[in-house]
Amino acid sequence: MYKCIKCGKLINIPSHNATCQECVLASSNERKEEIRWKEEKSMRIRSSYRRNEIILEIKDKIAKTSAWVEEEFSPLSEVEFRPKNYSSTDCYCNSRYLGSIYSEDLARTCQLASQINVPLFGFISLVSKQEKDRYGNDRYFVRVVYGTISKEKVFEFALESDADERKLEGKKRIEYANYLKYKMQVISHQKKVEKYRVTHCWKCNKSLSSHADIICPNCRWISCDCGGCGCNYPGY
């Protein structure tokens, strides 16, 4: 009789280097367990590496996006984001207030934040009413600020953005009012010295007249508010 070289058990295999069936199975199971353990370790390392990559990409991030909505919301309302579809490249994100927002960066940030369980905070920083759509529904333009840092920091940024946007809108309104005042003065003088003329803007096809629009002093064309006149006409 011969003995197993591993456990010393008597076996019927005529060899001094033979191994019993139990030891062979045990070795096979040990190898499988070792392979499984290595695969799990490799997966944990890859997951940890990917998590660190995501953290570096979206850490302390603040960004802006915008949307058109039919309901009016108060500025600085808190917004809750959710990815619309984790397995899709669709760039829409759902929010508690605004329905769907189309933003590739917001969609990607939502997906990455959900993967590492990092909260994503958002606030409506600006709400401005626009002209009604073709169906007669009210339309509002909203600016949304979102970020992965603390809610207080995102709120402060949204508050600052809201103030900056309102200052810019106020400045534009003042500039436009001054332009209208200047335009009326010029047109009042034109009516006295220029013959009545009508035409169309080559740039936007708007109807123009010398009694309602300014005549360019350089090319003598009737200039449009969009900037189109003979000075920049591409036909020359």
pLDDT at 86: 60
Q: What are the tokens at 201? A: 């803007």
User: What mean pLDDT is predicted for residues 72-79?
Assistant: 86
Average pLDDT, the chain: 81
Nearest residue to 123 (alpha-carbon basis) of 58, 63, 168: 63
Task: With respect to residue 187, please indicate whether it lies within any of the assigned structural domains.
Answer: no
Per-residue confidence band for 111, with pLDDT thresholds at 50, 70 and 90 = confident
Domain check: are 67 and 136 in the same one? yes
Domain check: are 135 and 205 in the same one? no
- Residue 128, pLDDT > 90, answer no
Ramachandran angles phi, psi of 84, nearest 5°? -75, -40
Nearest residue to 81 (alpha-carbon basis) of 46, 52, 118, 54: 118
pTM over 0.85? The answer is no
Q: Total structural domains in the chain?
A: 3
CA distance 112 to 107: 9
Domain check: are 46 and 114 in the same one? no
Domain check: are 123 and 75 in the same one? yes
